[in-house]
Chain A
Amino acid sequence: MLFSSVPFLFYFLPIVLISYFLAPRRAKNSVLLLSSLVFYGWGEPRYLPVMLGSILQGYVFGRLIERFRGTKRAKLFLVPSVFLSLGTLAYFKYADFMIANLNALTGLSVPLLRLTLPVGISFYTFQILSYTVDVYRGTVPAQRNLIDLAAYIAMFPQLIAGPIVRYSDIAVQLKTREHSVSEAASGARRFILGLAKKILLANLLGELVSDFRASADLSVLYYWLGAIAFTLQIYYDFSGYSDMAIGLGRIFGFRFPENFRYPYLSGSITEFWRRWHISLGSWFRDYLYIPLGGNRKGSARQLLNILLVWLATGLWHGAAWNFVLWGLLYAVLLTAEKLFLLRGLQKLRVLNHVYVLLFVTLGFVLFDASGVQDAAQSVRAMFGGGGLPLVSAESLYELRSCAVLLLLAAAGATPLPKNLYAALQHGSTGKSILAVLEPVGLTALLAVCTAFLVDGSFNPFLYFRF
């Protein structure tokens, strides 16, 4: 079920909220779990057992690891848990990629499995992994209550597209959390803003991208327009989803980690990855980069670790060579920055942002491509190498038609709206105006989002495929 859908907004959510707030405190996690299973089963009923099996193994191995923590037997339970988690992910996500490459390398014709990727498997697998590893490390106690652990892993606000909430982030809140008017209002506000980012910006940018892909009237301008629109779309799509998840979490009394902090304002790629999909970056740092040795074993080893982490990051996003290359691109850029580029970039005021936006946009061209050749052709066309005209009638039309949308999207990716809000809040007059304007404005935004849902059919969620 999508957050940005009528069944979710006007059926599922109100019913769940009523049930949750009517339920006694001790039953709230059960309500959350049950509603999360309905939420997941709505879109993927046949993959419910896969998720439940993953939760169960996380629970059993977590308990066993804790019981034998400090002994060699703890590792004996950690290893199968990690293998089961990664094995399930590998089977559903990477089996066909491996078979296709094996066939290409050996000339064999092993049939592809053609499995549908269970929604959210990359996210909940990483949560289970972090849980069992943290229990092994002794940073969190194992959860004794299966319902509480299942409620954490399957919690519908963050189940499908994150943020990747670690057990340690919300272990305490699972047992004791406060529900307040201010938190619920803050959650509702964040949810509606996220919904608007998704429906009013990401979806409309997505239509532009879709028109570009379907066009028979391509030009250099259209390639750039498509690339920039996709770069903005993926930001609003994913950060909008994260906002909705964080907002829903707050309504239910949870504090989820932030996932985005104006990534397109970064002055270096290093900074970009501290602002983009923060929960994934920190996950790889803590559960792969540091265990591999991080920067503690010399420069050569550190560079190798960076390479491995970014190969994994690329593959996490998709089982295809363009995702691998996308990861490698960042490995190269981050290595270059670490070795020599970062110092130079820090001295620049504008060009460093141009550099980041250029490589991030090119990276997303690679990311969005149907394959490596498609990506190469797109990049070539963007720089005039495709024999295409500079502009075409359709690209000019799209530019004119989407100019306001693109400007709004660009401005919205900066702290400008937040600063405007803060400026309005300054002084008693501003506060009085906001006291009326904000609730009415949010409701109006919800009504506009509903209008776009009722009339629109274009509503993909990009991060569903991960």
Chain B
Amino acid sequence: MEKRKNLAVICLTSVFLLGFLIWSFLKPDSAVSQSERRKLAQKPDLTAAAVLNGDFMTKFESYTLDQFPLRDGFRRLKAAVLLDVLRKKDNNGIYLADGYAAKLEYPLDEASVCHAAERFQLIYETYLAGTDTKIYEAMIPDKGAFLAPQNGYPSLDYSALSALLQENMPYAEPVDLTPVLSLDSYYRTDLHWRQEALLPVAERLAEAMDIKLSAQYDTVTAGAPFYGVYCGQSALPLDPDPLRYLTNETLRSCTVYDYETGSTGPVYDLDALEGEDPYSVFLSGSKSLLTITNPNVDTERELVIFRDSFASSLAPLLVSAYAKITLVDIRYVQPERLGRWLTFDAQDVLFLYSVPVLNHSETLK
């Protein structure tokens, strides 16, 4: 019996190691990981210089990890062992609670918030000081604000973050969005908020900015299921969210000008619903500079939003009160260069940033 057991150990181990070696050689390389929404490492070039400086080995290791057969299955296995066997409370910083997947956002990085405030100060001093612009700032809590404390996960001090931001942005009127947000305002599998749940947020901003919004929308549910970014990051088999967007005649008549490409398109990029990130349906995803023009409004009033991706789904809900809304994402454009395209005089200006960006503001240029 011992002999058979030893033989079985050798055979199974050999089959496992050799099997994956052969599979790795035979399997065609993938270019991207759909679940992780990223490009995968490709086979590095074998050159003497790359071998001698160790570059080849480093890249080969990344390549073997990224192109490993059954990669997604192995990632799911790891998540299951970690969460179900070892009872860890998060996997890759993503945790599950009350049916929601969320990222641990903790602790408050004051230096990061101050860095963000410094970038906003630069914008204020360069373009806004001395003009008739009305300036507002609103912080968007991540869903952890409504999920973490109740479920025993560490949660950052949102009041302190908000206070720090206000202290460093004395030129802006703060708008507190927390009272009109709840866990239900967010997707279950993604970091973003759900547009169909944002009408109270839009109303709260409208009240603060003294504008009147049209509240009549049709809700359209996208056909394809929406697997948010946390599905891939957590490697857990999460049920998809429905992705809905709000539309009406005003929004259908609006045009969006993309300064990067010089092209004009609609508010909702319906092709994105079938793409890697369906949330890009809202204003086509990551864009440095966009202007939404509303031809059906009796006002010259304009709004400029300095923003991250959360504003993509909110801005359409503010369109009814403005002739133009310009969205600036300083993660993709240097603030110093904005003068080439924008002139500030009497617009409303809103600094609308989510906590994940404020707390990791190294991405702000």
Measured CB to CB, the residues of A under 8 A from B are 1, 5-7, 9-11, 13-15, 17, 42-43, 45-46, 181-182, 184-186, 188-189, 192, 200, 204, 215-217, 393-394, 397, 400-405, 408, 431-432, 434-435, 438-440, 442-443, 446-448, 450-456
Are B12 and A442 in contact (CB-based, < 8 A)? yes
CB contact under 8 A between A181 and B3, given known A5-B61, A6-B64: yes
B301 near A: Cβ within 8 Å? no
Bound CA span A153–B1, Å:
38
* Chain A residues with CB under 8 A of B87: 401, 403-404
Question: Would you mind naming 14 contact pairs between A and B with Cβ atoms under 8 Å apart?
Answer: A7-B64, A14-B17, A17-B14, A188-B13, A217-B154, A393-B154, A400-B89, A408-B86, A442-B12, A443-B13, A451-B74, A452-B78, A452-B81, A454-B65
Bound CA span A182–B74, Å:
30
- B54's partner among A45, A217, A448 (CB-CB below 8 A) is A45
Bound CA span A439–B51, Å:
38
Bound CA span A450–B20, Å:
11
Are A435 and B1 in contact (CB-based, < 8 A)? yes
Q: Which 3 pairs across A and B sit closest by C-beta, in order of nearness?
A: A185-B6, A439-B8, A451-B78
CB contact under 8 A between A431 and B1, given known A7-B64, A455-B92: yes
56-84 of chain B: CB within 8 A of chain A: 57, 60-61, 64-65, 68, 71, 74-75, 77-79, 81-82
Report the nearest A residue to B157, measured CB to CB.
A393
Kindly list 14 other residue pairs between chains A and B, CB separation below 8 angstroms, not including A185-B7, A200-B86, A401-B90: A5-B61, A6-B68, A11-B64, A185-B6, A394-B106, A397-B154, A435-B1, A439-B8, A440-B12, A443-B12, A448-B77, A453-B65, A454-B71, A455-B92
* Chain B residues with CB under 8 A of A45: 51-52, 54
B330 near A: Cβ within 8 Å? no
CB contact under 8 A between A450 and B74, given known A185-B9, A204-B86, A442-B12: yes
B4 near A: Cβ within 8 Å? yes
- B9's partner among A6, A7, A188, A452 (CB-CB below 8 A) is A188
* Secondary structure dominating the interface of A: helix
Q: How many residues of B contact A (CB 8 A)?
A: 52
Bound CA span A459–B340, Å:
47
Are A439 and B5 in contact (CB-based, < 8 A)? yes
B46 near A: Cβ within 8 Å? no
* Chain B residues with CB under 8 A of A5: 61
Are A7 and B61 in contact (CB-based, < 8 A)? yes
Bound CA span A442–B152, Å:
35
* Chain B residues with CB under 8 A of A438: 5, 8-9
Bound CA span A454–B63, Å:
11
- B1's partner among A432, A452, A453 (CB-CB below 8 A) is A432
B171 near A: Cβ within 8 Å? no
Name the residue in B10, B71, B153 with the highest tally of chain A Cβ atoms < 10 Å from its Cβ. Answer: B10
* Chain B residues with CB under 8 A of A440: 12
* Chain A residues with CB under 8 A of B81: 200, 448, 451-452
Q: How far is the CB of A459 from chain B (nearest CB, A)?
A: 10
Are B154 and A10 in contact (CB-based, < 8 A)? no
B18 near A: Cβ within 8 Å? yes
Are B64 and A10 in contact (CB-based, < 8 A)? yes
B341 near A: Cβ within 8 Å? no
B170 near A: Cβ within 8 Å? no
Are A394 and B78 in contact (CB-based, < 8 A)? no
Bound CA span A450–B64, Å:
12
* Chain B residues with CB under 8 A of A11: 21, 24, 64
CB contact under 8 A between A442 and B88, given known A14-B17, A456-B78: no
1-40 of chain B: CB within 8 A of chain A: 1-14, 16-18, 20-21, 24
Are A455 and B235 in contact (CB-based, < 8 A)? yes
* Chain B residues with CB under 8 A of A215: 107
Are B5 and A405 in contact (CB-based, < 8 A)? no
CB contact under 8 A between A394 and B107, given known A439-B12, A455-B92: yes
- B5's partner among A17, A397, A434, A453 (CB-CB below 8 A) is A434
Bound CA span A405–B85, Å:
9
- B68's partner among A1, A17, A454 (CB-CB below 8 A) is A454
Are A182 and B6 in contact (CB-based, < 8 A)? yes
* Chain B residues with CB under 8 A of A443: 12-13, 16
Are B10 and A188 in contact (CB-based, < 8 A)? yes
CB contact under 8 A between A10 and B12, given known A43-B54, A182-B2, A394-B107: no
Bound CA span A182–B2, Å:
8
* Chain A residues with CB under 8 A of B90: 401
* Chain A residues with CB under 8 A of B88: 204, 401-402, 404-405
CB contact under 8 A between A401 and B10, given known A10-B64, A435-B4, A448-B77: no
Bound CA span A46–B2, Å:
46
* Chain A residues with CB under 8 A of B14: 14, 17
* Chain B residues with CB under 8 A of A394: 106-107, 154
Q: How far is the CB of A403 from chain B (nearest CB, A)?
A: 7
Report the nearest A residue to B91, measured CB to CB.
A455
Q: How far is the CB of B230 from chain A (nearest CB, A)?
A: 15
Per-residue CB contact flags for chain B residues 137-162 toward chain A (1 = under 8 Å, else 0) read 00000000000000011110000000
CB contact under 8 A between A185 and B75, given known A404-B86, A453-B65: no
Q: How far is the CB of A258 from chain B (nearest CB, A)?
A: 21
- B77's partner among A13, A181, A186, A447 (CB-CB below 8 A) is A447
Bound CA span A446–B14, Å:
11
Q: How far is the CB of B117 from chain A (nearest CB, A)?
A: 19
- B153's partner among A42, A204, A397 (CB-CB below 8 A) is A397
* Chain B residues with CB under 8 A of A405: 86, 88
Are B21 and A14 in contact (CB-based, < 8 A)? yes
- A451's partner among B12, B77, B92 (CB-CB below 8 A) is B77
Q: How far is the CB of A136 from chain B (nearest CB, A)?
A: 37
* Chain B residues with CB under 8 A of A216: 107, 109
Report the nearest A residue to B87, measured CB to CB.
A404
- A439's partner among B9, B71, B235 (CB-CB below 8 A) is B9
Q: How far is the CB of B4 from chain A (nearest CB, A)?
A: 6
Are A185 and B54 in contact (CB-based, < 8 A)? no
Q: How far is the CB of B61 from chain A (nearest CB, A)?
A: 6
- A446's partner among B10, B13, B57 (CB-CB below 8 A) is B13
CB contact under 8 A between A448 and B107, given known A10-B21, A393-B154: no
Are A435 and B5 in contact (CB-based, < 8 A)? yes
- B13's partner among A192, A217, A401 (CB-CB below 8 A) is A192
Are B10 and A181 in contact (CB-based, < 8 A)? yes
* Chain B residues with CB under 8 A of A13: 17
CB contact under 8 A between A10 and B77, given known A397-B153, A435-B5: no
